[in-house]
Structure 1
Amino acid sequence: MMNNYIKAGLSSLRQHTKFIHVIFMCAIALPMNASVSASQFINSDSNAHHILYINSFHRGYGWSDELESGLRETFATSATPVELSVVYLDSRRFDPAEINNKVADILALKNVSSTIDLVVTSDADAIAFALENQKTLFPTQPIVFSSINGQSSSQLQDRANVTGISEYKDYLQSLELALSLHPQTQAIAFIGSSKESYDRNVLDIVKENVTSSLDAQFDIEFLIDMSVDEVDAALSELPVNTIVFMLASTLPKQEGGQYSSAETARILSSITPHPIYTYWHSHIGHGALGGQIVTGHSQGKAAALLALEILDSPEKALPELRPAPSSFFFDLEEMKKRDIGEEALPTGTRFINYQAPIWQEYKTEALTTLVIIFGLISIVLAFFLLTKRQTETIHQISDENIELNNALEHNQEVLEDVTHQLEEITIVDELTGLMNERHFANMLDKELRRASRYKTPISLLLISLDDFENYTRNYGEEKANKAIAQIGHVFSNTCQRSSDVLAYLTHSQYAIILPHTSRDNALVVGEKLHSTLRDTNIPFVASKTGALTLSIGLASLEGTDERVNPQHMFNTSEVLRASAEKAGGNTTKADVIATKWGSDSSAGS
């Protein structure tokens, strides 16, 4: 019997604890923002309009924070004074069924039905809350909704005193732009998800309205609810001229959970050479080429403008639904990789990774240098005039002139140092068009860190031209440089993944970093390099084959979270390259870098 009493007591304690937790979270969610306090509704400026913004989520959630930023920015610059109060429903972290009634009770205590003029909602949970409590909390206030993924705006329009920003449906326009940029397209792959309502909404619209309008000439593939490996395998089966569209913001992890939006875009761009387009702003800058995007900030501005229109003309009927605003966003770095110019995109397209001209970036230093040079020239002229007027002090002026020349020489040295620094900024080798040695070192460290973080394989090829010193003596320096450049083009045409890093080091040596590539797959790449160079057939009469050949050292790291020092990987590849060269060249020596689990034996080809 005593055990039964104890169990009953614990059960009662849990119920009371849960109730206290819900009340506590409501208390935190509401007063967190100073604009939602009770004193504001009572003591605020009587000339200002009072707007209540109901946020489905919590502060720190990127989408709704951007939406709130668009609201505040628009209200702050309007001629109509507005005081904005914010309520957070926290629906991503707590069950709305437990929270919403408490939030409604608190708003009723604050008498919002008589202290606010208009309600703005973001996302599905907020509009559902507003409609459920419309009769008691907002009986006369207009409700302006925004960001309603998963719901139909036409159904909401039928509700009394409700209007807003309709869901985005114009997914065809982005696809048509992509097809115009890639006229040789044979297949289109849509990567989506059916697990979240907003992802299903996008997927349904694309299937019903977009793909039905495409010509039968395109092979349409929907890759839904697939892991990264499954997507990789499916994309590898598609034609070379394929474009990829991201309908969902994230991809699932094999071990459970989801990658972040940025991780999803980076991983997808690393496993496929196809151009990637998206409908999600969080993919831009992480490997996606571009797309037509609806941002939270633009939704907030559109909702704010609609709210101001209603407040300025209270006697008029509510305006009709406004279309969701969208803009084209493109990544200039990805555009350069695809050889797409800015002129090919519509007017008003917004770009990221814009790099100002170098003179603009260093204009302060350039102006300072010009001022110094102008000052020095002025001093020289002054000295010349002074020598004409004061011939009796010619020796003194001569000494000062020597000092001035020293100053000019020092300034020239400074200018040469600045020029040298500017030359070091470039990451491209002028002779081959590949990355230079300094940038290669940075990228090797970066890719090794990424491989360790995601436990993905990575391979490094160090390549030398066999007996190239003899080739240079026989054919001359100019022809040797042409051969180095020609072989650099051969490597570029062979390794075409956007994630591959190709570099020219020095003394006819090259390096290739292959992310997401095991030793066996890297050996295939090495064989392709040998084969392509044989087909290119750069004559070399002193060679055993009659043409230039390669020695390749290949070091691989096979999917581990252990950190490997970049110099260790470089040294391993260099030892293997030297071994291949010592064996007569025209071959590849490969090995897996040793970890605490051991290593594979070397291989040659």
Structure 2
Amino acid sequence: MLTGQTGKLPGKHLLVKALLFILPALVLFNPSLLASQQINPKNVLVLSSTRSTSPVAYQWDRGIRSVFKVGPSDRIVIDIEYLDSARFNDDRYVQLLRDLYRHKYSNSKPDLIIPVYNQAFDFVLRYEPAFFTGVPVVFGAVERHFVESRSLGPNITGILSANTYKDTLDLALNLHPDTLRVAVVAGAGSYGRSYYTAARKVFRLYEDRIDFTYLTGLPMEELLEKVANLPVQTLVMYLPLLEDGAGKKFDAPESLSQISRASNAPVYGFWDVLLGHGIVGGYLNSFEEQGKMVAELGVRILNGEKPADIPIIQAPKFQNMFDWRQLKRWSISEHRLPPGSIVQFKEFTLWDRYKGRIMGVIALIVFQALIILYLLHQHRIRRRAEQALDERLQFETLIA
């Protein structure tokens, strides 16, 4: 009996081996099974209120992409749509955008939407039922009052905008303690009014000791004339001027450059994208950092976390930053800047650039000089000894 049973075992082993060979082959050469194993890419739609050529758009884009490159294991496909709301915001234009995006995305919904600024967020809220229903939303740089005035669904979270109006004004007043007046520059249009309204709420707290003048909604030529003739002991606070009173459009760095060149008073700002275009500095917000923060929330959602479980947060304030050229222009010593301040665009002298090498060469020359002096000193001692020896020999010769 035992012999009969053991005789059947080789057949079973052959069957098992055959199955182990055949099953992987079936999986390997079955396209449908292969397709089921492939990872579907995650599609992220970024709706920016700006235009594509704006420096602000570039910073947001860089911040968002830097996170998604090292984010979820799934492949990420990022589409960016620019509303260009500062230049075009009439109803017909918005309807055309609605029709375009409905055509593009109604049958291929994104896995995540990131609206940047109030206008893009408003667009998503308005047309979400049409073609964005149920898609998770992570907004960025949207004002608190704008969010609080809306009813948000459980699929929405994000980061509120943070302003540094108070921090920057305090900083400027500390650097210019004799200031009596502040001129606030702001543009026309919805963007200009929004920045102006938010800033004025903060600046009202200072009106008992500072005289504020609001240069808002003026044609650029008139504005330049006014900032060129400001009274002494005046500071300028620049709010993004994207449209002047004559309807002319600008990028913020473009309008700032003109204003700073014309101004007879130091100009301060609130965003790091403006540094290098005419502001002395300020306690500056970073759009790139905010882009990273928004994308990090997006990664959590793409990894399975629910937006309703992620609270809406306030963007942090950032860094004291200054333009070295403007510090020199207005005779502001770097020693008076707050500790930890970042100074950019510093023009280094030959001494600044090659200080280490120069000190090394000087040290080498001094060392060589000391060696030479030592050798000369030893030479003099040896000569004296030789002279003394010669005199002694001569004396001994005379005695002998």
Query: Is the Cα–Cα contact under 8 Å of residues 149 and 198 in structure 1 kept in the other structure?
Result: no
SS at structure 2 position matched to 1:109:
coil
* Deviation at residue 183 of structure 1 after TM alignment: 0.7
SS at structure 1 position matched to 2:208:
coil
Of residues 313, 325, 332, the one that matches 1:333 is: 325
* Deviation at residue 68 of structure 1 after TM alignment: 1.6
* Percent of aligned pairs with the same amino acid: 24
Of residues 293, 297, 305, the one that matches 2:284 is: 293
Query: Is the Cα–Cα contact under 8 Å of residues 167 and 324 in structure 1 kept in the other structure?
Result: yes
Cα–Cα, structure 1 residues 336 and 85, in superposed 2: closer, same or farther, change >3 Å? Answer: same
Cα–Cα, structure 1 residues 316 and 252, in superposed 2: closer, same or farther, change >3 Å? Answer: closer
In 2, Cα distance between equivalents of 1:316 and 1:132: 19
Cα–Cα, structure 1 residues 283 and 141, in superposed 2: closer, same or farther, change >3 Å? Answer: closer
Match of residue 180 from structure 2: 186
Normalised by the length of structure 2, the TM-score is 0.68
Query: Is the Cα–Cα contact under 8 Å of residues 54 and 251 in structure 2 kept in the other structure?
Result: no
Query: Is the Cα–Cα contact under 8 Å of residues 74 and 301 in structure 1 kept in the other structure?
Result: yes
* Deviation at residue 310 of structure 1 after TM alignment: 3.3
* Deviation at residue 242 of structure 1 after TM alignment: 0.9
Query: Is the Cα–Cα contact under 8 Å of residues 108 and 137 in structure 1 kept in the other structure?
Result: yes
159-168 or 68-77, which deviates more: 159-168
Match of residue 3 from structure 2: none
- 1:118 corresponds to 2:109: no
Match of residue 209 from structure 2: 217
Query: Is the Cα–Cα contact under 8 Å of residues 241 and 250 in structure 2 kept in the other structure?
Result: no
Unaligned runs of 5+ in 2: 1-34, 369-400
Cα–Cα, structure 1 residues 81 and 239, in superposed 2: closer, same or farther, change >3 Å? Answer: same
Cα–Cα, structure 1 residues 72 and 44, in superposed 2: closer, same or farther, change >3 Å? Answer: farther
Cα–Cα, structure 1 residues 270 and 166, in superposed 2: closer, same or farther, change >3 Å? Answer: same
In 2, Cα distance between equivalents of 1:49 and 1:237: 55
In 2, Cα distance between equivalents of 1:284 and 1:43: 50
Query: Is the Cα–Cα contact under 8 Å of residues 91 and 125 in structure 1 kept in the other structure?
Result: no
SS at structure 2 position matched to 1:329:
strand
Match of residue 135 from structure 2: 141
Of residues 152, 171, 174, the one that matches 1:177 is: 171
Amino acid at match of 1:164: G
SS at structure 2 position matched to 1:273:
coil
Cα–Cα, structure 1 residues 56 and 221, in superposed 2: closer, same or farther, change >3 Å? Answer: closer
* Deviation at residue 356 of structure 1 after TM alignment: 4.9
In 2, Cα distance between equivalents of 1:102 and 1:272: 44
In 2, Cα distance between equivalents of 1:331 and 1:136: 47
Query: Is the Cα–Cα contact under 8 Å of residues 56 and 122 in structure 1 kept in the other structure?
Result: yes
SS at structure 1 position matched to 2:322:
strand
* Deviation at residue 163 of structure 1 after TM alignment: 1.4
In 2, Cα distance between equivalents of 1:51 and 1:182: 46
Bigger relative contact order (CA 8 A; separation at least 6): 2
Which is greater in Rg?
Answer: 2
Amino acid at match of 2:308: A
Deviations 1:311-350 (A, max 9, x none): 4462573322222344333101111233334443345543
Query: Is the Cα–Cα contact under 8 Å of residues 329 and 350 in structure 1 kept in the other structure?
Result: yes
In 1, Cα distance between equivalents of 2:136 and 2:278: 42
Match of residue 98 from structure 1: 96
Of residues 220, 224, 227, the one that matches 2:219 is: 227
* Deviation at residue 177 of structure 1 after TM alignment: 0.9
Match of residue 269 from structure 2: 278
Query: Is the Cα–Cα contact under 8 Å of residues 157 and 163 in structure 1 kept in the other structure?
Result: no
In 1, Cα distance between equivalents of 2:36 and 2:283: 44
Of residues 48, 53, 62, the one that matches 2:46 is: 53
Match of residue 200 from structure 1: 193
Amino acid at match of 1:152: F
Cα–Cα, structure 1 residues 344 and 252, in superposed 2: closer, same or farther, change >3 Å? Answer: same
Cα–Cα, structure 1 residues 121 and 189, in superposed 2: closer, same or farther, change >3 Å? Answer: same
In 1, Cα distance between equivalents of 2:203 and 2:346: 33
- 1:73 corresponds to 2:66: yes
Deviations 1:66-102 (A, max 9, x none): 2121111112234654503204255457722123223
Q: What is the count of residue pairs matched by the alignment?
A: 323
* Deviation at residue 187 of structure 1 after TM alignment: 0.8
